[in-house]
């Protein structure tokens, strides 16, 4: 489908299996190097700014060690009324999050960054998708939590997994909700001449 042009090599700065799977759909070779960064949100930082900054910091942390490579960094957040809903620390928090989201719209924002340190090129953007969750009853929420799936997911659900049955409507990119807006990322890779 796509071909990586000569002289280019791609590193995905993420250990997310979801991002790995999505990037593999392009049919191109890439390496995986997870970065270690401080993900504390800054005061007065909007959710979009936060996702953009983290995606840049992830890419830059890896790019400093591999300056001749193209590095892709990304960060996905779930937002309800400007409140970022991170990964739950326990089942009780997952339950509260899903109770908050049931029967309502929320946003999923993924910031992504493509950079090459040697060439001094940085492209970054954020993609926003609106998601409507069905009106769940408490028993449904508890049954889902017992699968353990929501315990390491932002917003306490995985649209590509068992949690997909709870999502009634999506407006925007589906792959963005999973963790990487592949259409937009591919467009950047093509525009930079990394892929053809």
**Given 36, 75, 135, 152, the catalytic residue:** 75
Is the Cβ–Cβ distance between 75 and 13 less than 8 Å?
A: no
Angle between helix axes 138-145 and 91-101 (nearest 10 degrees) is 140
Q: What is d(CA 137, CA 141) in angstroms, rounded to the nearest whole number?
A: 7
Q: What is the bridge-based pairing of β-strands 121-133 and 167-171?
A: antiparallel
pLDDT surpassing 80 at residue 145: yes
- Residues 16-74 pLDDT 10s: 999 999 999 999 999 999 999 999 999 999 999 999 999 999 999 999 999 999 999 99
Note the pTM of the prediction, 2 decimals: 0.95
Percent helix / strand / coil, the chain, rounded to 5: 35, 25, 40
- Residues 47-60 pLDDT 10s: 999 999 999 999 99
List phi, psi (to 5°) of 99. -65, -40
Name the token pair of 57.
Answer: 């910091």
CA distances from 9 to 3, 132, 173 (A): 11, 38, 26
75 catalytic per annotation: yes
Residue 186, Cβ neighbours under 10 Å: how many? 18
């Amino acid at each position: 489908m796509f071909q990586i042009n000569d002289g280019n090599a791609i590193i995905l700065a993420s250990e997310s299996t979801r991002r790995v799977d999505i990037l593999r759909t392009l049919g191109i070779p890439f390496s995986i190097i997870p970065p270690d960064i401080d993900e504390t949100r800054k005061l007065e930082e909007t959710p979009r700014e936060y996702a953009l900054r983290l995606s840049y910091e992830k890419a830059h942390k890896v790019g400093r060690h591999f300056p001749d490579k193209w590095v892709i960094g990304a960060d996905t957040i779930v937002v309800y009324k400007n409140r970022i809903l991170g990964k739950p620390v326990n089942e009780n928090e997952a339950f509260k999050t899903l109770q908050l989201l049931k029967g309502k719209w929320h946003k999923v924002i993924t910031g992504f960054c493509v950079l090459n340190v040697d060439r001094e090129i940085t492209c970054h953007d954020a993609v926003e998708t609106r998601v409507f969750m069905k009106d769940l009853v408490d028993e449904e929420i508890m049954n889902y939590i017992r699968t353990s799936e929501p315990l390491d997911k932002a917003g306490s659900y995985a649209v590509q997994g068992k949690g997909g049955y709870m999502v009634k409507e999506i407006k925007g990119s589906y792959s963005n909700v999973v963790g990487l807006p592949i259409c937009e990322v591919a467009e950047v890779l093509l525009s930079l001449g990394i892929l053809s």
